[in-house]
Amino acid sequence: MPDFDSDASRRHLVPFDGNFSLADFPTSIDELPAKKVLKNELEDLVEELHDLQRVLYADGRYAVLAVFQAMDAAGKDSTIRKVFSGVNPAGFRVEAFGVPSERERKHDFLWRCARALPERGKIGIFNRSHYEECLVVRVKPELLEGQNLPHVDPATIWDERLESIRQWERHLARNGTVIVKFWLNVSMEEQKNRFLRRLDRADKHWKFSAKDLDDRARWPEYMHAYQEALRRTSRDFAPWYAIPADSKPYMRVAVARTMVNTLRRLDLSHPELSEDERRALTASRNRLVSPD
Ligand code: ADP
């Protein structure tokens, strides 16, 4: 059993010094714990996340932003669903980012993400994110043509975009948004198995799109884009975690553990009531218990 205690999700933490190498981050782990063990651990973590979210809300100083990026079929949707299944929907929102709309393309690339940020006390999930601008757009630079940019220098645009992201995230962090980013790292082989299952099972047909095979054909370009993005944007104020994704039960526990650890590290507390507030509560109590 991997030791997930305290800060052990650090084993998946992408270094902050720009030296991240895909080769050092596996898609599966040795000695996978039994499914039952992982299931029980996930249940405990889901419960703890629920409790932590309540304090996050009461504390009211921090917003939490969790970003999810992955190749198709890595399990983004189901991981989000399972890990946050215990969280109160009133304090939590998932935003999925697809191909930008015409309106979104009239703005800078961070605009639509800025509009979807969580407020203090809440958890926001980005299912895909501003990173697509340095992933899919980098792999298919023809997409830039639809963006009506006044000038594009292919030699510098990706570094500039990653710099913008870094600075934006630093700004958010300074202002109380706690950012944690997950790259669900699935292998090509496992993706193939999952695609085949989608094709073989009628109840999974809807999940399959022939377009997914085009992205699969560009795997090396995507991996290069991920490596560059993670190198340049994993920082202490907005860390990336490269989570092995070939085992979904393991991946979910690793994500849940990282979320719990991140929230535990905050100095969260229920706000102290002032004397006046205490007196007001006592007065309300007295009114309630006195005869109507
Ligand atoms: P998912 O694959 O996440 O379940 P969809 O099937 O709706 O969701 O796919 C969303 C698509 O939108 C992906 O192919 C993704 O590459 C694309 N996309 C997201 N952001 C951008 C962007 N900024 N520019 C171009 N395409 C994008």
Let me know: does 192 contact 217? Beta carbons within 8 Å.
no
Range of the domain at 103: 4-289
* Atom 8 (ligand 1) nearest CA: 98
Residue 270 confidence (pLDDT) = 84
Probe residue for ligand 1, chosen from 110, 126, 128, 148 as the CB with the greatest number of ligand atoms within 8 Å: 128
pLDDT, average across residues 169-188 = 98
Q: Is the CB of 110 under 6 A from ligand 1?
A: no
- Collapsing DSSP states into helix, strand and coil, what is residue 230? helix
Q: Is the CB of 99 under 6 A from ligand 1?
A: yes
What's the pLDDT tens digit per position in 201-236? 888 888 888 889 999 999 999 999 999 999 999 999
Give the distance, in angstroms, between the CA of residue 185 and the centroid of all CA atoms in the same chain: 13
Tokens of 236: 């202490």
285 alpha carbon – ligand 1 mean position (Å): 53
Sorting pLDDT into bands at 50, 70 and 90, what band is 8?
low
pLDDT, average across residues 265-276 = 90
Counted domains in the chain: 1
Sorting pLDDT into bands at 50, 70 and 90, what band is 1?
very low
Q: Is the CB of 206 under 6 A from ligand 1?
A: no
What sign for the dihedral angle of Cα 128, 133, 137, 138? negative
Residue 202 confidence (pLDDT) = 87
Residue of 254, 287, 275 lying closest to 3 (CA atoms): 254
Q: State the CATH number of the domain containing residue 64.
A: 3.40.50.300
Structure-model confidence comparison of residues 228 and 30, the more confident one: 228
pLDDT, average across residues 13-25 = 96
What's the pLDDT tens digit per position in 92-133? 999 999 999 999 999 999 999 999 999 999 999 999 999 999
Q: Which residue has the tokens 């054909």?
A: 217
- For the CA of 211, the closest atom of ligand 1 is 14
Alpha helices in 63-210 (DSSP H): 76-83, 111-114, 136-139, 157-174, 188-200
Residue 203 confidence (pLDDT) = 86
Q: What is the pTM of this model?
A: 0.94
Sorting pLDDT into bands at 50, 70 and 90, what band is 265?
very high
245 alpha carbon – ligand 1 mean position (Å): 19
Residue of 122, 118, 124 lying closest to 60 (CA atoms): 122
**122 forms bridges with which residues in the sheet?**
none
pLDDT mean across residues, the chain? 94
15 alpha carbon – ligand 1 mean position (Å): 27
Sorting pLDDT into bands at 50, 70 and 90, what band is 9?
confident
pLDDT, average across residues 42-68 = 97
pLDDT, average across residues 64-86 = 98
Share of the chain above pLDDT 70, in %: 97
pLDDT, average across residues 263-276 = 91
pLDDT at 2 exceeding the cut of 50? no
Residue 206 confidence (pLDDT) = 85
Q: Is the CB of 246 under 6 A from ligand 1?
A: no
Q: Is the CB of 139 under 6 A from ligand 1?
A: no
Residue 107 confidence (pLDDT) = 97
